[in-house]
Amino acid sequence: MNITKSISAIEISGRFDAHEATSFRETIEQELTTSSNIRLSLAEVEFVDSTALAELVRAMKKCREQGGDLILSEVSGPVAVILELTKLDAAFTIE
């Protein structure tokens, strides 16, 4: 028997702030219909605000509720600094 876990991949670029929160939430909800594991590339993100951080936490919780995880990959320098300052780097799976 083979068991395979599917991982959805999402890339974000530019500013990730309150203006993009609804679109991000809708994208995550759509991806969660097919996979509980989501890899989120943040390589091209220049800025995150508190709304974006809250959406990341919400998405992580949703994934984990379904037995999966939200994996942050290729985290840009500006995002890495914010995650460290807020101590959220300890909460997320970061590649």
Per-residue pLDDT tens over the stretch 18-75: 999 999 999 999 999 999 999 999 999 999 999 999 999 999 999 999 999 999 999 9
Q: Report the predicted TM-score, pTM, of the whole model to 2 decimal places.
A: 0.90
Q: Which domains does the chain have, with CATH numbers?
A: 7-94 (3.30.750.24)
Angstrom CA distances, 38 to 6, 32, 72, 73, 85, stand at 9, 8, 9, 10, 24
Contact assessment for residue 12 and residue 44, using Cβ atoms and an 8 Å cutoff:
yes
**What gap in Å lies between CA 11 and CA 84, rounded to an integer?**
21
pLDDT at 1: 52
